[in-house]
Structure 1
Amino acid sequence: MNDIQKGKNTAVVAYMTIIGAVIAIFMNQEENKTDFGSFHVRQGLGIFLSFFLLGYFVGYINSWMATGAFYLFYFILWIYGFLGALQGQKKEIPLLGAFFQNLFKSL
């Protein structure tokens, strides 16, 4: 429980834009590092990086329905992760969470 309380600020900041994710990486360094904070830093960073990477290609699709579905999908992922951080839970985001945990395991 102490790990969750100690890492909660870092976890919440990790979901505040890509800049927040980078700030959370620095907040979760060395003596302040918690497993809970690290989990949410990996999730938040993964959400934002994949959004920009995939969004670049979705932008070329000339369809408001495809673009709208893309934005809705990522908004739901963001809400899921953000609420998990606020509630003190370590739930991976659907579809991509395990991939982000493996990809950014060094953070």
Structure 2
Amino acid sequence: MTSNSDVSGKKIAAGICGILLGALGIHKFVLGYSTEGLIMLLVSILTCGLVAPVMGIIGLIEGIIYLTKSDEEFYNTYMVGKKAWF
């Protein structure tokens, strides 16, 4: 297992990016989910921003979920279990 500070830092970075930049999928890239991040980014860009609000809401929800989990639960769910969505 990585150190608590690494997990906590990644959790906070992903949570804040999800809340502020959710439509661009930056929080997915922070967690190492390149495919999912690319999907969110391309959906937002290729629809000329029409679907960006939906991606933004998804990012907001995921950011809140990340920040409300304990460090251990976050680590087990997103870093070990590789749960990509919600």
TM-score for both structures, normalised by structure 1: 0.41
Q: Which has the higher contact order (CA 8 A, sep 6+)?
A: 2
TM-score for both structures, normalised by structure 2: 0.49
- From the CA coordinates, give the structure whose radius of gyration is larger: 1
